[in-house]
Structure 1
Amino acid sequence: MSIILAAVPLLSTAAQGGSTREPCWRLAWEENFDCAQIDSTVWSKCTRGNPDWQNTQSSDPRLFEISDGTLKLRGIVNDDTTKDPAPYLTGGIWTKDKKSFNPGRFEIRARLHGAKGAWPAIWLLPFDHENNKWPMGGEIDIMERLNNNHGAYQTVHSHYTYDLGRTANPQSTGIYPINREEFNVYGVEIHPDKVVFFINGKPTLTYPKINDGADGQFPFYIPQYLLIDMQLGGQWVGEVDSKDLPVEMEIDWVRYYEPAQ
């Protein structure tokens, strides 16, 4: 895919509480899902694992479709538990071990179809995952939506928030309104001293670095890989209603910006 460069303004100074200078971002990479197949040089299908988000991930082709310029990731009832014991099957993609993103700005335009027990997510993990084990390397959740809620969660996780339980000062998570039936743009900016989330271009949560990142409070300023996945069920979202299935999330595009020189 060719690289398209463009300049876009940083979030407003008032939103960030910074100086009056407004630097720009440069569009360094984008994925528009305009080919018949997922670009295997960038993306892989998420593999099955033990965590709730991963315990129904599958490579079943019914879970993946590119059409009309969007990628559809689905959650379905498993119709053959003799081959796979999972009650449901879900699709996800990630750039793990393939494409690394330096700290910058990420935007993903997506539409989320609701169902009881649906848990779509867009998130970042350390590219060097072998030397940045969870939660020490941190996790940035650009978007998580439960069921058919009117809001999306945006969250950071780390040793500081998870192991030490320090989630309130500074605030590490929040739920923010979305246009439930429409496409929304979910975004995050990773700065040396803060992580700034936004939805549809409006700032939501800012998570600052404090005390020079002591106690593993701010591990986020490192290269990341991107995950986009549909999931069903789990301790957080609760039980699935199979009558609501299949369910899908649609991804229109992904854009990654780096600071303009």
Structure 2
Amino acid sequence: MRLLPLLTSLSYLLLSLVPATAQKVVPHGVPGNWQLVNAFSDEFNGPKIDTQKWETHTRPWGERSWDPDNLVQKNGKLFITARYEPHTLGGTEYFYKLGILQSHKKTTYGYFEARIKGCSRFPGLCPAFWLYSNGRERNPDYPRVTYSEVDIVEMLQGLYHPELHKFTGPNFIDCNLHTRILDENGKEIWQRPNSLPELCRNHYIAPWDPRDDFHIYGAEISPEKIVWYIDGKKVAESENRYWHLPMTLALTMELRPPFIDWAGEATRVPVPEATTPDGFPTTMTIDYVRSWVRKP
């Protein structure tokens, strides 16, 4: 009579020891028949970052100076840290060292999900989970599109919201889109949340603070639309008018005001007088990142 409960307990124990990628893992709150895509998924259970899958050594982007030492994988999680560390690279002065994890391979359509806890510093940092194209590849079915970016989540931005007429708080979650398209004269035009808010701007005001605990952030990108989910709940949807290019999957810690300012549509510059070591280092934590495609 005692054998069945014992076998049941052993079964649960053995199941808990099987890696999540070997179990039946499905998106949270998104029905369908799914196939996990290993190239864009990681449980971070190994002793170090899988550099066959992920890139951590990246040259600076504008005001962003990336340091691979700011990424640590341990205890089944990935930690991405931002540090106050003034330095000079290529004649350019930087005040902070940040961290980026990005996939070697590219993808376009599917469902992408990560369980993330935000960093402690607010405002000034933005933990983000997103996809972006590098501007070199084209989709012949959408010849005018030169850049695609889907922000699955940008948290803790603390930006001024033109429609709300105020700066946003830490529980304001951004789920935005960015693209560049060619006009009739062949000039690249940015389409972004401020210039095309009806298509590119989405947000969710959470009843919790993303700095306090883990939450699951996801988005499904299909040829027809882009749908965002948080903790299995649908929070936003946009028509997929421009987001059809091959994109890199990325997890990043980036600077936000007061440490940077915008100089034009897409150019950011440091604000030296606002730099401070207060609140640094600060770290975002990723429990996992998983990606799927729908099976026929």
- The DSSP-based 3-state class of the residue aligned with 2:190 is helix
> Residue 86 in 1 paired to residue 94 in 2?
yes
**Match among 148, 152, 176 for residue 138 of structure 1:** 148
Written as runs of structure 1 = structure 2, the 5 A alignment for 1:182-261 is: 182-209=213-240, 218-232=241-255, 233-235=259-261, 239-261=274-296
**Match among 108, 112, 121 for residue 106 of structure 1:** 112
Deviation at 1:25?
2.3
Q: Specify the alignment match of 1:67 in structure 2.
A: 74
**Cα gap change, 1:132 to 1:120, in 2 (>3 Å):** farther
Aligned length: 237
Which residue identity does 1:156 align to in structure 2?
L
Q: Specify the alignment match of 1:212 in structure 2.
A: none
Q: Distance between the aligned counterparts of 1:110 and 1:171, measured in 2?
A: 23
- The DSSP-based 3-state class of the residue aligned with 1:169 is helix
**Unaligned segments of structure 1, at least 5 residues:** 13-21, 210-217
Per-residue CA distance 1:169-207 (angstroms, 9 max, x = gap): 335332432542000111000111100011111111100
- The DSSP-based 3-state class of the residue aligned with 1:78 is strand
Deviation at 1:220?
1.7
**Match among 33, 36, 47 for residue 44 of structure 2:** 33
CA contact (8 A) 2:98 2:253 kept: yes
Q: Distance between the aligned counterparts of 1:40 and 1:227, measured in 2?
A: 14
**Cα gap change, 1:223 to 1:86, in 2 (>3 Å):** same
- The DSSP-based 3-state class of the residue aligned with 1:38 is coil
Q: Specify the alignment match of 1:57 in structure 2.
A: 66
CA contact (8 A) 1:77 1:88 kept: yes
Q: Distance between the aligned counterparts of 1:253 and 1:172, measured in 2?
A: 26
Q: Distance between the aligned counterparts of 1:7 and 1:40, measured in 2?
A: 23
* Structure 1 or 2: more strand by fraction: 2
Written as runs of structure 1 = structure 2, the 5 A alignment for 1:8-23 is: 8=26, 23=32
TM-score, length-scaled by structure 2: 0.69
CA contact (8 A) 2:191 2:200 kept: no
* Structure number, greater radius of gyration: 2
Deviation at 1:93?
1.1
- The DSSP-based 3-state class of the residue aligned with 2:235 is strand
Q: Distance between the aligned counterparts of 1:166 and 1:87, measured in 2?
A: 30
